[in-house]
Each structure stands twice: as structure tokens, then as C-alpha cells.
Chains A and B, each alone.
Chain A
Amino acid sequence: MSTSAINSSSTQAGAARQPLLSVRGVKTFYGNIIALKGVDMDVHEGEIVTLIGANGAGKSTLMMTIFGNPRAREGRITFGGQDITKMPTHEIARLSIAQSPEGRRIFPRMTVFENLQMGASMNGLAHFDQDLERVCTLFPRLKERLNQRGGTLSGGEQQMLAIARALMSRPKLLLLDEPSLGLAPLIVKQIFSIIKELNERDGMTVFLVEQNAYHALRLAHRGYVMVTGNITMSGTGKELLENPQVKAAYLEGGHH
């Protein structure tokens, strides 16, 4: 592990409390090919943590490994102190971890309303009306389209639906895989401001996997940088933004 951890105040503060999600020495393989080479990572309650890296670095693999698909061959993943390394995916989801997967994966032939119902399916529609109201306030676009089929929404709306669907289960931890993928800058901004709002107002813990390093690091409390299956750097969002290596590798082209 070549983690050149930047000394930061938040990591020290974090060490005091037990992390909500902790990943220790996780190795994941696709057949014989190693995709994650021993990843250590923490997400504390109330934080936005982002993971940035190039294509093929293993970001999505890490997110999927947390969900047990593919399963980690070595290492340990705990959520709220409970070992979830060997749990089946649907049981992990029931511990109130919600995911908005890469490529959105909404149900295209079901209506927006039915998609949201699916999101709430594991807590039995008990708070459904309340949660629907809340999600509709967050994403007014979805409210107009409740009876419309998911597949007829635009890309940005589908992304909103994917996040909204994840929120319907009242998660303690929200995993977002590339919410900015293929969206216009204006929509990306909108989605990131909603993530921020969720975190600040509701105290939602968010783990964000992103290519869009500039936006992600500005939003996040802490960040990790992943290169070919290893976490090579970590620190607060601000620190990473100013780090010359990060700047050179992920922020060139000037978003400023």
C-alpha cells in the first residue's frame, strides 16, 4: 500500500468515532485478474466522502464490492460495526445502505411512481407517502412525471429518479456511482447541490464515486484517490483539490 496520506484534521477527528462504513484490506478479483489490491477506506456518519480516479481504477468495483457483488476475496467490510463481507446483496441493502448504481439502472417500463415504490419495498411502504412527498420536494421534475414510464425520462431525470429511488428506503448511507455521467453541466450542478442539501439538512452520509473530480472534491468533506486498484491519496476535499499531483492528473483542463 502506498498511501501517502496527507495529514489532515478530519482523519484525526474521524479516528475518535467508530466509522459507519469501514473497508479494510479488501481485495477483489474478476476471475484471476485482481481489481482491488487491498483497499482501506472509512466513511463516517454525516460525511460526504468521494472516491476519484481514472477509468478502470476500480472505483465502481469498490462500490459493488461493498454491496457484495462481486464479493471481496480478502479483507473485511463492516457497516455500523457489523461484518457485511459475506452477506448477500439484498441483505446488505436491507441494513439501510442504498445505492444509485452506475448507469442508473432504473426500471424503464415501470412508471416513475412504481420505480419509487420499488425503492421503498424493503420497509413495506409504511412511510411511503411521507417519503414520496420529500423526494418530490427534492426533485420537482419527478413529481410532474410520476405516471410516466422511467424509460421515457431524459438522462438527467433518470439520474434523479435513481437517486430518489435510493432515498425511498430511508438509507443511513447513500452510495452514488457517477451521478454526473453523461449529463449536461447544468444538470450536474443541480444534482450535486441536491446531494449537498441532503447532507446538510438531513445529515445523510454519502459515498460518492466520481470522474468529475473538481465538482466531487469541492462537495466532499473527504476524498480518496484510486489508481489501479490502490488508494494512493486521501485527505479533505480542499487538500486534494490543492494537491499538485491531483491537479495534474485529474483537474487539468481548468474547471475554474
Chain B
Amino acid sequence: MNAPPIASASTAQVAAPSRFDFGAALKDSFITALITLGLSIPILAYKTVQNGAELFLMSRWGLVAIMCAIIFGLRMLQHAFMATRAARQAMPDPHQATEAVHAEPSAYQKVSRFAIPFFLGIALAFPLLVYVVQGGLNESRYWVDLGILILTYVMLGWGLNIVVGLAGLLDLGYVAFYAVGAYSYALLSTTFGLSFWICLPLAGILAAFWGMILGFPVLRLRGDYLAIVTLAFGEIVRLVLINWTDLTNGGAGISSIPRATFFGLPFTAGEGGFASTFGLEFNGMHRMIFLYYLILALALLTNFVTMRLRRLPIGRAWEALREDEIACRSLGINTTNTKLTAFAIGAMFGGFAGSFFAVRQGFVSPESFNFLESAIILAIVVMGGMGSQIGVAIAALVLVGGPEMLRNLDFLKAVFGQGFDPNEYRLLIFGMGMVAMMVWRPRGLISEREPSVILKERKAISGSFVKEGHG
């Protein structure tokens, strides 16, 4: 008998979130701006300026006003965004879970069909594009160097993705394998005079071996405990490199590591060098471009191997291990071997990347392998979306290329004054980016797990509807 009121109440409920309550949003944004003002007074409002022996207090109310305005605007935007999202979620889903799901190819799948060849094309043509845009080999040096840096992190991200993204083993000491690879090449080439092409596989094998050494003691650990042990492992490797002065030359590092050769042809100006053999005018950039394609090839190799492995029983076993270890064992999967192979193969690619690092720099020191590196690589994997190859590549581009881009944002100087160096705010922006990710894409940029086998047509359900594996 009271059915009509209930019905109207429920429609009102459905309709309510779709309306953007402007007044409330305004009020909330105003409060947020007030909080910013309160926080700014001790932090931003005054600056001490030393002039000779005297100390002046300089007020910066303009800056405070700008910050408050920015926060106000961002908060308003957030409200608008949340309101539209709530409205979207309030719409009843036409395909309930009890029906077979007729999901369209998701946005990710639509994009990835074009995005992957597009990104690959850009990556392949990058030195040429830079050459055309910058109008010369020497002018493009900075950009090619940046490309190499980004690709190194893409490769490291893909390598760590095997351990963290696929096998679900949280590894905070991945940089240890990077260090093992780098020092393998540095020591083998300076001591025995071995060439890069012999050292590269050796570095990979040695790093894989160290991966297994790390793997054995941590076989029974998961989650937080595993993370702490791997973190310690990374630090141990770094401290050994610092303190074993006889072998590694300690904190001073190893310098004058032989440069890479073009399959035996050195990149030198004289007779028999790369330039003279191919009848080119000598330019130091030849080596850079060669290094660019080398790291691109190594990164693509990492990607290719990972994609193939995912379709093989071992790759499926990794993913199953991430989802549920007990179920794995009762299906006859040897979890010991599965974990060890994940550690070893992940470490091997870290080792490749490490030896590339050594040949590019010509110098290695323990400084390059501190915890921050591990954290950045892990952040790349987590931000990219665990297990997603393209997501990791995008995250590497953003996390490594982004801070570099900050250097070029000159227009900010016009806003914040001449003394403003955006690069100093790198970690602040990094942190804000992380928080934004947590709010909007808590499972990474590309959270969808692409099934390794697809029958007939593609169907997809966003990963966020599926609960995380636990165990």
C-alpha cells in the first residue's frame, strides 16, 4: 500500500547524486582554500632575506593568494568530477552480473590497438624525429640522451613487472640486480678485456644467479615481510660494493669502462672507426644513437619475452601464484620453482639493463644504485598497473621524462617570479601525482589485466570489479 512513496523515494535517490550541488561545492572549496591560507601563513607567507649582516622579513602575500586560488579551483574541479562520476555509477548497469556479459571492447582495448603501433613507431623513429625538429645531430643530443634514460627505466620497469606484476612478489631491492649487471660488465671488461657483447649475456646470467640467491631465503615470505627482506638485500649489495674496496674500488667507483662498439667497430674518429668504415663524417652522436637503438632493442626483447612467457605454462603459473598460492600448490604447481624462475628472469633483465648502464656511462659507482632507484622502478610498475606492459611504459615516460620536462617550463617563472625553479618542486609534484593516482586510478594507469588467451570475441570487465588476490 505504501509502494508509491517507496518508488518515488528510490528514484529521488538515484537522481540525487547526478545533480551537481554547486552551493555545497562552493562552500567546501572555500573552506579548503581557508585551510590552505592557514597552512600558508607559517610556510609561505614570510621569507627571510639576508642582506649583508642584516636579516629582513619579506612578506609574500601574492604567492599565498595564488596558492589559495589554485587550491580553490582544484577542489571545485574535483567536486565536478566526483559528481559526474557518481551520476555515471548511479545509472543502473544494463548487464547485471548474472547475465552473460556482453561488454564492448573496453576503452583500453580500443586505444591499445592503435596506441601500441603508434608508440612503437615513435620510439623507432625518435632519433630521426629529433634530428629533423632540432635541425642537427649535435642539437639533438639532449633529447636522444633523455630517450635513452627513459628507455632504460622502461626496461627496468618491464623486468620488475615480471616479479611484482606477474608473480606478485613485492621486491624493493630490484636495483641490486641492476648493480650486479653494471658491475659485472665494469669488472669483466676492465679486468679481462671482454667485449660488451660477451659481457651482456654474462651480466644477465650473473644477475639471474643473484636473483636465485635472493629467492631461496624468501620463498616462504609474502607481502610486507618479503618487501623488507628484498629491501635489505638491495642495501646489502650496495654496502658490499662500497666496502669491498679491493674488488670494486669502493665509493670511488670504476671508471674508464670500455665503450660499446658497433659489433666490433669502435665509435672513434680515426681510421677503422664506425664513421670512416661507413663513409660518414665523424660525430659523437653516432654512438648515442647506437646506444638508443641498443636499449630500445633490449627493452623490446624484455617485452617480447614477457609476453611470450605469459602465454606459456610458466607465465600462467606466475599469475596464478599472484592470485592464490595454496590453490596453485593443490593444482600440482611447484611454487618453489615458480618463484625462483620469476626472481631469476626478472633479475636477468635487470642485469642486462645494468650492463647497458655501465657501457653508456663509462663509469659506475655505488651511488647510482641506492634505494631511491628501487623505489622509482617500483613506482613505475605500480603506477603503470601491475602486470600491464603498456602501462609500465607510459608510467616510465611520465615519471622519468616528466621531471625533465619541468626544467623547460619557463612560463612558470612569469607566474611565480624569476627565482622560481620548477625542478626544485619535482618530488612535491611526484607526491601529488601519487596522491592523484590513489584517488582516481588506485590500481594503476592501466588496471585491466589482458587475458593471455581470448576465445572468439573479446569481452572485458574492468579490473576494479574483481577483488585482489590474497594469500
Interface residues of A (CB under 8 A from B): 67, 69, 88-91, 93-94, 98-99, 101, 105-111, 113-114, 117-119, 121-122, 124-125, 144-152, 154, 165, 169
Known: A106-B327, A109-B466, A152-B97. A114 touches B451 (CB 8 A): yes
A118 surroundings in chain B (CB, below 8 A): 316-317, 320, 328, 331, 333
- With beta carbons under 8 angstroms apart, the residue of A99, A124, A149 that contacts B330 is A99
User: A124-B313, A149-B461 given. 19 additional CB < 8 A pairs?
Assistant: A90-B335, A91-B332, A94-B332, A99-B330, A101-B327, A107-B323, A107-B327, A108-B468, A109-B463, A109-B468, A113-B453, A118-B331, A118-B333, A121-B313, A121-B331, A121-B333, A145-B101, A152-B465, A152-B466
- The complex places the Cα of A144 from the Cα of B328 at a distance, in Å, of 25
Q: What CA separation (Å) do A172 and B253 show in the bound complex?
A: 61
On whether the beta carbons of B332 and A107 are closer than 8 Å, the reply is no
Q: Is the CB of B324 within 8 A of A105?
A: yes
- Please report which residues of chain B, range 94-143, place their CB below 8 angstroms from some CB of chain A when the two chains form the complex: 97-98, 100-101
State whether A146 touches B455 (Cβ < 8 A): yes
A122 close to B331 (CB less than 8 A):
yes
Given A108-B323, A154-B98, the answer on whether A147 and B331 have CB atoms closer than 8 Å is: no
Which residue of chain B has the shortest Cβ distance to A125 in the bound complex?
B313
- Interface residue from B100, B329, B335, B465 paired with A144 (Cβ < 8 Å): B100
**Which 3 A-B pairs rank lowest in CB-CB distance, beginning with the nearest?**
A93-B332, A151-B466, A122-B332
Measured CB to CB, the closest approach of chain B to A72, in angstroms, equals 16
Interface residues of B in 419-471 (CB under 8 A from A): 449, 451-459, 461, 463, 465-469
B337 (CB) vs chain A CBs: closest residue: A90
Q: List 12 A-B contacts (CB under 8 A).
A: A93-B330, A106-B324, A107-B469, A109-B449, A110-B323, A114-B451, A117-B316, A118-B328, A121-B316, A147-B454, A152-B466, A169-B332
Q: Which of A69, A117, A151 contacts B465 (CB 8 A)?
A: A151
List, in ascending order, chain B residues with CB within 8 A of A69's CB. Answer: 326, 329
Inter-subunit contact B324/A107 (CB<8 Å): yes
Q: Give the complex CA separation of A113 and B328 in angstroms.
A: 16
B334 interface residue (CB < 8 Å to A): yes
Q: Which residues of A contact B324 (CB under 8 A)?
A: 105-107
Indicate whether A121 sits within 8 Å of B319 (C-beta atoms), given known contacts A113-B455, A146-B455: no
In the complex, the answer to whether B100 meets A90 with C-beta atoms within 8 Å is: no
User: Is B319 within 8 A of A107, CB to CB?
Assistant: yes
In the complex, the answer to whether A107 meets B320 with C-beta atoms within 8 Å is: yes
Q: Whose C-beta in chain B lies nearest to the C-beta of A165? A: B331
Q: Which of A69, A89, A99, A110 has its CB near the most chain B CB atoms (within 10 A)?
A: A110
The one of B100, B316, B332, B458 in contact with A145, judged by C-beta atoms closer than 8 angstroms, is B100
Residue on B with the closest CB to A147?
B459
A109 touches B469 (CB 8 A): yes
- Whether B331 pairs with A169 at a CB distance below 8 angstroms is yes
Contact in complex: B335, A108 (CB < 8 Å): no
Q: Which residues of B contact A124 (CB under 8 A)?
A: 313
The answer, among B98, B329, B457, B466, for a CB contact under 8 Å with A93, is: B329
Listed residue (A69, A94, A152) with the most chain B CB atoms within 10 angstroms of its CB: A152
Which residues of B lie under 8 Å from residue A88 when comparing CB positions? Answer: 334
A110–B97 CB distance below 8 A: no
Roughly how many angstroms separate A128 CA and B330 CA in the complex, as a whole number?
19
Interface residues of B in 122-181 (CB under 8 A from A): none
Within 8 A of A (CB), among B314-366: 316-317, 319-320, 323-324, 326-335
Contact pick for B327, options A105, A111, A122, A169, CB 8 Å: A105
CA distance A105 to B470 in the complex (A): 10
Residues of B within 8 A of A154 (CB): 97-98
A175 to chain B, nearest CB (A): 9
CA gap between A89 and B332 in the complex, in Å: 7
- Is A148 in contact with B101, judged by CB distance below 8 angstroms? yes
B contact residues around A114 at 8 Å (CB)? 316, 319, 451-453
Q: B468 to chain A: which residues have CB within 8 Å? A: 108-109
Which one, A111, A121, A148, contacts B332 given CB within 8 A? A121
A111 to B454, CA, bound (A): 9
* Bound complex: CA A101 to CA B335 (Å): 17
CB distance from B329 to the nearest CB of A (A): 4
Q: Which of B100, B319, B331 contacts A110 (CB 8 A)?
A: B319
The CA of A110 and the CA of B333, in the complex, are separated in Å by 16
A residues near B452, Cβ cutoff 8 Å: 114
Whole-angstrom distance between the Cβ of A115 and the nearest chain B Cβ: 8
User: Across the interface, which residues of B come within 8 angstroms of A67, CB to CB?
Assistant: 329-330
Question: Which residues of chain B have C-beta atoms less than 8 A from A113's C-beta?
Answer: 451, 453, 455
A residues in contact with B469, CB < 8 Å: 107-109
Smallest Cβ-Cβ distance to B452: which chain A residue = A114
CA distance A146 to B101 in the complex (A): 11
- Known: A145-B100, A152-B461, A152-B465. Contact between A117 and B330, CB under 8 A? no
Partner of A151, one of B320, B328, B459, B467: B467
Residues of A within 8 A of B458 (CB): 147
- C-alpha spacing A9/B252, complex, angstroms: 84
- Which residues from chain B contact A145 at a C-beta distance below 8 Å? 100-101
Assess whether B451 is in contact with A108, with CB atoms less than 8 Å apart: no
- Nearest CB of chain B from residue A224's CB, rounded to whole Å: 21
In the bound complex, what is the Cα–Cα distance between A113 and B324 (angstroms)? Answer: 16
